Structure 1
């Protein structure tokens, strides 16, 4: 296992991609421009939203298929691989993945040396079930020179098993790529935070990991999005501002990812992994695709 480089400057990008094959190049150019701005501010880990170059509001499977590409060999992936190599950064991007006749809502991780790995969304929201296949890669954690990185997508954060399994595998940071949508009110509390913000904060707190959550803004074919992107520290509290529901923004945080490896030890009697009652429930919750790696 590698020792993380320190410090890491995380950048979470919140913007408004639009669906439509004729808009893909515009989306791509815009997000690469924002990523370049993050690089100019010293970022070396950049997190983009779910389906960042295609938009989200497909009308049917055929349209989703028209936006799909192979990962990692597709043309959009090549642009992000080239960007990461040129600027010596790590970057997560959400896109529609085609694998034979299957479509997946996928998060890909690239770095200075090219493609690192991918995660396929496990928990599909609403009409996504009509065109995407549920992810079949489990919850992988990727060991990189800046730390161990886990990936989640949007609704996954509502399922506490998902971030817990990433933490049990030794993740230092979870990058969650989102299209959190407008649901029946109340949507925000008095501080302007949405429920997804609190779920992210809670997941970071109970697993003692950093979480970088990138959401999108705007409206697309009648679907409205929440914004509220944030970066949470290992104690759960945001270490960036929580983004607004309306504004394009880039959030930053400077962290030592190695801090996540000692964070579960609160004091001599409270050590999160060791206090788990694995005599009452399986230590990996029955999960068998990747091994336990205590921090």
Structure 2
């Protein structure tokens, strides 16, 4: 049976590692090597699940669609997927990694989900940011929840977290944890003295949906575009339990959690539970989304 078809956890205690690193556009082999070294480091620290940034294999700021295509790979069989799968098997890990994905002539900003048994599945970014629209197709796989031996994992990528509907559609499918490979950039009003707005969005989503959120950002400046770091792991109450990380430095955040808390601690009092209290008599359960096979 594939991992995607499995739903029972072997062990609810999961050590999440968010790898904050600096991929470099134009250096695919170097990006793969550096990401593998970070995964090894996280595994040595006891990680069960490792989250890498958005487009970890390729870098982010492309000069043309041809360059983006040249840096992309087929999910599950390309060089980054293969290298990450080998590490997942060797260390008994699950990995969620941002990936420039090539599917025939189409390109996607994707996240590959990999387990000890190999490739599990792909999430494709639904909401494209800025010049991503020049290179990538909008995601066409919906919001899948991957049922793995360690728990039910959903994925979003960067700008997706600005859409509460995306988080909610993962919640109503039973996600315990949402992994967010991301390349956050400064937003209007962002100053060094303020908490990153992206951190606030992760916290709010974890709180209002009663699940864990693990966001792995990148750092550095690429072709003039600065990135803000501040990776974070939030618990089911919405509070950070690791991070926010540095704005500038590579580091690995870790937190050990019981993913069962995503359901066990959902009741706030004798009357209120945020998913149960939805007014589905006014709006439908999946917010008008097409229900895909395997969602429920």
TM-score range, shorter chain: over 0.9
Q: For residue 110 of structure 1, give the secondary structure of its aligned residue in structure 2.
A: strand
What corresponds to 1:2 in structure 2? 8
The equivalent position to 1:155 in structure 2, one of 153, 159, 170, is: 159
C-alpha separation in 1, matches of 2:178 and 2:104:
29
The equivalent position to 1:41 in structure 2, one of 39, 45, 56, is: 45
CA contact (8 A) 1:4 1:144 kept: no
The equivalent position to 1:245 in structure 2, one of 244, 247, 259, is: 247
The equivalent position to 2:266 in structure 1, one of 264, 269, 282, is: 264
Equivalent residues, number = 289
More deviation, 175-184/211-220: 175-184
Q: For residue 272 of structure 1, give the secondary structure of its aligned residue in structure 2.
A: coil
Which structure 1 segments of 5+ residues have no match?
Answer: none
C-alpha separation in 1, matches of 2:286 and 2:248:
39
C-alpha separation in 2, matches of 1:154 and 1:186:
16
What corresponds to 2:103 in structure 1? 99
What corresponds to 1:129 in structure 2? 133
The equivalent position to 1:171 in structure 2, one of 151, 175, 179, is: 175
Q: For residue 273 of structure 1, give the secondary structure of its aligned residue in structure 2.
A: coil
How far is the alpha carbon of 1:289 from its aligned partner? 3.2
Is 1:17–2:49 an aligned residue pair?
no
C-alpha separation in 1, matches of 2:12 and 2:206:
20
What corresponds to 1:202 in structure 2? 204
The equivalent position to 2:145 in structure 1, one of 141, 144, 147, is: 141
Is 1:50–2:54 an aligned residue pair?
yes
Structure 1's consecutive aligned runs of 4 or more residues displaced over 3 angstroms after TM superposition are 187-190, 289-293
> 1:50-77 CA deviation, whole Å, 9 max, x = no partner?
0012100001111101111111121221
C-alpha separation in 1, matches of 2:38 and 2:48:
13
C-alpha separation in 1, matches of 2:43 and 2:9:
23
C-alpha separation in 2, matches of 1:43 and 1:33:
14
What corresponds to 2:4 in structure 1? none
Superposition map of 1:103-122 within 5 A: 103-122=107-126
Superposition map of 1:226-245 within 5 A: 226-245=228-247
Which structure 2 segments of 5+ residues have no match?
Answer: 1-6
More deviation, 280-289/124-133: 280-289
C-alpha separation in 2, matches of 1:131 and 1:243:
30
What corresponds to 1:255 in structure 2? 257
CA contact (8 A) 2:18 2:215 kept: yes
CA contact (8 A) 1:4 1:258 kept: no
What corresponds to 1:275 in structure 2? 277
